[in-house]
Amino acid sequence: MKASYSPAPDRYGRPDFYRRCGRAGLKLPAVSLGLWHNFGGPDVTENARALIHRAFDLGITHFDLANNYGPPPGSAEENFGRILGRDLAPYRDELVISTKAGFHMWEGPYGEWGSRKYLLASLDQSLRRLNIDYVDIFYSHRFDPDTPIDETMGALAQAVRSGKALYAGLSNYGPSETAQALEILRSLGVSCLIHQPRYSLFDRRIEAGLLDVLGAAGVGCIAFSPLAQGLLTDKYLNGIPPGSRASANTDSLRPEHVTRERADQARRLGELAQARGQSLAQFALAWALRHPQMTSVVIGASSPGQIKENVAALEHASFTEDELRAIDAIVSR
Ligand SMILES: NC(=O)c1ccc[n+]([C@@H]2O[C@H](COP(=O)([O-])OP(=O)(O)OC[C@H]3O[C@@H](n4cnc5c(N)ncnc54)[C@H](OP(=O)(O)O)[C@@H]3O)[C@@H](O)[C@H]2O)c1
């Protein structure tokens, strides 16, 4: 195992890489790194360490986790905690670490959804696995239709008041649920920092309401799966390559998601990207970041090279009206 790590001295060389999270004081890097895939298992791999190092060297200060990331669930937090302790502990104040609770985590009636019991116990478990005193952002990972929303928001507010989380966030809430949640949090004296929805050229649902709700409320937005788990790269243009996520027999991207229609759309988008001098991945990330409300995109990666390529999306971030029209003709809203 590589003995020691010193971050790149020029990692903050591009101040415009950091974008304000809605109206909050906190800024996030335009590209953040998520640990849903490639960080699970019983121990830290050299690749996991290399991914974190490359990200931080490139100025990525935000690392996104959830209680259940693995497999097995919890192991991504444990592995990140080990990497943090070993390599990044002196830089804790340069990092924004998020985690979430909402999906199934442990047996019995208190191991998922949105009760106060589950959220606060899960946050304590996450802090133990990460081996830190607080996370920067604690999310309700999904809306729970069977728990009063006041109870879920009360738990988020409590997490912030206790100092175990600096900010509260929502993920996978629809526009009206979000508006209600923001109002309740405000009444509790805790504002919501950010929403984390899925958004990419292949899933544009948030354009139909959620972005407006967030814009009006001054809440930030961080898009997850902005590359549609790899479909918006040149990886699947000619089938499913070995070693790719779709080949890995997980529930997240199954072979049947790699359809001929998606490959055709990706190929056509790739032609537009090429005309701008970008890879398809860079083009897809720049496009997701074009909204003023979009603070960051949270990407996944299996190699340090992918992170480097993706961060370079910012080198050509604006789109002409003609380009946007050509995109809309390929992927309708
Ligand atoms: N809140 C939620 O409910 C929720 C849900 C899902 C995800 N998330 C968050 O969002 C993060 C990102 O999700 P995601 O992993 O689905 O994001 P993504 O960025 O859409 O997909 C990442 C995958 O795309 C491929 N890729 C990335 N860059 C590439 C490049 N330059 N060239 C070729 N292939 C490239 C890699 O696949 P290979 O592994 O095949 O190389 C990588 O693992 C997660 O880690 C998590 O933090 C949140």
Cα 325 from Cα 18, distance rounded (Å): 28
Å from CA of 300 to ligand 1 middle: 3
* Distance between CA atoms of residues 180 and 149, nearest Å: 8
- Report domain 17-230+291-317's class: alpha beta
Phi, psi of 252 (to 5 degrees): -75, -45
Q: Return phi, psi of residue 32, to 5°.
A: -115, 165
- pLDDT of amino acid 250: 84
Q: How far, in Å, from the CA of 275 to the mean position of ligand 1?
A: 25
Q: What is the mean pLDDT of residues 309-314?
A: 98
Which uninterrupted H or E stretch holds 28?
Answer: strand 27-29
| Interacting residues of 325 by C-beta distance below 8 A, sequence separation 6+ | none
* Per-residue pLDDT reduced to its tens digit, 149-178: 999 999 999 999 999 999 999 999 999 999
Examine the pLDDT at 140 and tell me if it is beyond 70.
yes
The domain spans of the chain are 17-230+291-317
In this prediction, residue 2 carries a pLDDT of 58
Kindly indicate the confidence band of residue 124, based on its pLDDT and cuts at 50, 70 and 90.
very high
8 Å CB contact between 222 and 296: yes
Q: Which of 54, 69, 225, 310 to mutate to test the pocket of ligand 1 (most atoms within 8 A of CB)?
A: 225
Q: What is the pLDDT of residues 90-119, one digit of tens each?
A: 999 999 999 999 999 999 999 999 999 999
Residue owning the nearest CA to atom 40 of ligand 1: 244
DSSP H helices in 14-99? 46-57, 75-83
Owner of token pair 């804790």: 92
Average pLDDT over residues 24-39: 98
Give residue 110's pLDDT.
98
pLDDT at 1 over 80: no
What pLDDT, on a 0 to 100 scale, did the predictor assign at position 156? 98
Cα 88 to middle of ligand 1, angstroms: 23
Contact present, 21 and 194 (Cβ < 8 Å) = yes
Q: How many helices and strands, by DSSP H and E, does the chain display?
A: 10, 10
Give residue 198 CA to ligand 1 midpoint distance, Å: 11
Work out which ligand 1 atom sits closest to the CA atom of 65: 47
161 C-beta neighbours (distance < 10 Å), count:
12
* Per-residue model confidence as pLDDT tens digits over 176-219: 999 999 999 999 999 999 999 999 999 999 999 999 999 999 99
* pLDDT score for 305: 98
- pLDDT > 90: what percent of the chain? 95
Pocket of ligand 1 (CB under 6 A): 34-37, 64, 141, 171-172, 196, 224-230, 233, 235, 244-245, 281, 298-302, 306, 309-310
Q: What is the mean pLDDT of residues 289-313?
A: 97
Q: DSSP secondary-structure letter at 203?
A: B
In the reported structure, the alpha carbon of residue 70 is separated from the centroid of ligand 1 by a whole-number distance in angstroms of 14
Tokens describing residue 175 = 């526009």
- Cα–Cα distance, 228 to 331 (Å, whole number): 13
Closest C-alpha among 124, 130, 118 to residue 64: 130
